[in-house]
Amino acid sequence: MSSMFPLIVSGAEARRRGNRLIGPIDLQLEGKGATVVVGPNGSGKTTLLNLLHGTVRLARGHVQWQVNTEDARRMQSFVFQRPVMLRRSVIDNLAYPLVIRGQSARTAREAAASWAERIGLSAMKDRSATSLSGGEQQKLALARALITEPVVLFLDEPSASLDGRATRDIENLLLEQKAAGTRIIMSTHDMGQAKRLADDVVFLCNGHVAEKTSAAEFFAQPATLQAQAFLNGDIVE
């Protein structure tokens, strides 16, 4: 288990212009597997990921890793729902995180070439990243997040708007990384994806953690009426 864990969240709230976005959140996550955050639209899934990652300011409460803040940030990566591409080539996008961490350009580009081949973009390595399809950009964003070998990988709806083939490629890469020990914390609206990837599930409703349990238990017998309604496809208020 990574020295970063357990991750302990106590009384955490996020606010914007005085309005509560989520919270208070009380949650503990251990250091293995994949946690998938699910819930109705507007329940706070993206905000929770950003709060854990440190890109949303805490209004109150605590998010406590078992290492100092600087080390925690260095050991994490985040893949956004809409990947942000540098206006550079595929290979330069992949090399960039290593270069800014002090690796030589040569070493960074060698690692980038290896990752480009791994995700099936080797033939496109000199193309502008902004010219890639949505699925190709998402694979590139994922590889760029993983090239630094993070302990924790956050993903916000990693296959939203992607076709079946691109989704399968993303999921296969995530399963490989999970098996290799990368701790995954992600949100998804796709319950099939959640079943395929999750070891445990955090169910958010109205900005609060309504359930946190194993994936098997959540999908077989959710404990709350809200989760039952959500899994049945009903409107949850």
pLDDT for position 1: 46
Show the tokens assigned to 207: 């900005």
Average pLDDT along the chain: 95
pLDDT for position 3: 87
3-state secondary structure of 169: helix
Give pLDDT tens digits for 105-149.
Answer: 999 999 999 999 999 999 999 999 999 999 999 999 999 999 999
Which residue has tokens 């009903």? 234
- CB of 116 closer than 8 Å to CB of 91: yes
Which residue has tokens 């293995």? 32
Give pLDDT tens digits for 171-223.
Answer: 999 999 999 999 999 999 999 999 999 999 999 999 999 999 999 999 999 99
User: How many other β-carbons are positioned within 10 Å of the β-carbon of residue 149?
Assistant: 12
- Residue 82 reports pLDDT greater than 90: no
Mean per-residue pLDDT, 29-53? 96
pLDDT tier, 160 (very low <50, low <70, confident <90, very high otherwise): confident
Taken in order of first residue, the domains within the chain and their CATH numbers are 7-85+132-231 (3.40.50.300)
Question: Is residue 38 within a helix (H) or strand (E), and if so which, with residue range?
Answer: strand 34-38
- CB of 7 closer than 8 Å to CB of 29: yes
The residues with which 79 forms a beta bridge, in sequence order, are: 155
The residues with which 89 forms a beta bridge, in sequence order, are: 128
Question: Is residue 133 within a helix (H) or strand (E), and if so which, with residue range?
Answer: none
Report pTM: 0.95
pLDDT for position 18: 87
- Contacts of 41 by beta carbon, 8 Å cutoff, 6+ apart: 189
pLDDT for position 199: 98
Give pLDDT tens digits for 42-67.
Answer: 999 999 999 999 999 999 999 999 99
pLDDT for position 12: 98
- CB of 88 closer than 8 Å to CB of 128: yes
1-5, 40-44, 73-77, 164-168: segment of lowest average pLDDT:
1-5
3-state secondary structure of 189: coil
pLDDT tier, 2 (very low <50, low <70, confident <90, very high otherwise): low
Q: What is the 3-state secondary structure (H, E, C) of 57-104?
A: CCCEEEEECCCCHHHHHHCEEEECCCCCCCCCEHHHHHHHHHHCCCCC
- CB of 65 closer than 8 Å to CB of 132: no
- HSE at residue 166, side-chain half, CA atoms within 13 A, is 17
Which amino acid is residue 81, in one-letter code? Q
Mean per-residue pLDDT, 159-164? 88
